Amino acid sequence: MRLIVGLGNPGAQYARTRHNVGFMAVDAIVRRHSFQPFRSRFQGEFTEGTIAGERVMLLKPQTFMNNSGASVGAAARFFKLEPAEVAVIHDELDLAEGKLRVKQGGGAAGHNGLRSIDALFGNDYWRVRVGIGHPGARELVLAYVLQNFMAEELGWVKAVLDGIAEAAPLLVADDTAGFATKVALLANPPPPKPPRPPKFDVKSGE
């Protein structure tokens, strides 16, 4: 994977909203892997650096969600990237909070950022879907995705973002299954095993 895109809306008023979890994930990668500061390029915020010895580019479109494809398409054309070399991190209503799935291609499933990328770039890129849960009714979706994460959600949000940043070398190496598995383990570690009872020595009675 050569280009990793995080989707969101620009502006401080959207910074902590559920729809901006893609921006948050890219920011976490920048911090974890010591990338250069973002600069304005391709109608977005762009930076590049190395992850596990590989050159990687990061992009946060600043076109607002509904026109994300203009930014992604511009960057991909400039660097002559195939869709399979691009991963897009975005919020996913149809996954439970904190769950992560990775797939290549497919439909936009009502996500306007993906719909724009499909139209202006193609749809055979990788999608890193970060579950934010569903409010329960279609008419509540817009307000829900543009609402800040609540205080009680911040624990799983941080765990998932840290997991994405830590597991990024696997995504860059195109090990998407390994990436998803590692994020799941880091974000939801299994409970510790109970200690084994001491062995009983029949001969000594101890």
Q: How many structural domains compose the chain?
A: 1
- Which CATH number do you get for residue 94? 3.40.50.1470
> Residue 151: what are its φ and ψ, rounded to 5°?
-55, -40
- Is residue 119 in a domain? yes
Inside any domain, residue 133 = yes
196 part of a folded domain: no
Q: What is the pLDDT of residues 78-130, one digit of tens each?
A: 999 999 999 999 999 999 999 999 999 988 888 999 999 999 999 999 999 99
Which pTM does this prediction carry?
0.91
Query: 44-64 pLDDT, tens per residue?
Result: 999 999 999 999 999 999 999
CB atoms within 10 A of CB 142: 11
In a domain, 43, yes or no: yes
33 lies in some domain: yes
Q: Is residue 194 part of a domain?
A: no
Mean pLDDT of 2-12: 97
Residue 116 inside a domain? The answer is yes
Given a cut of 60, whether residue 205 has pLDDT beyond it is no
pLDDT score for 89: 98
pLDDT greater than 90 at residue 190: no
User: What's the domain range around 174?
Assistant: 3-187
What are the residue numbers of the active site?
A: 19
Do 188 and 98 touch, CB atoms closer than 8 A?
Answer: yes
The answer to the question of residue 126 being in a domain is yes
- Model confidence over 127-148: pLDDT tens digits? 999 999 999 999 999 999 999 9
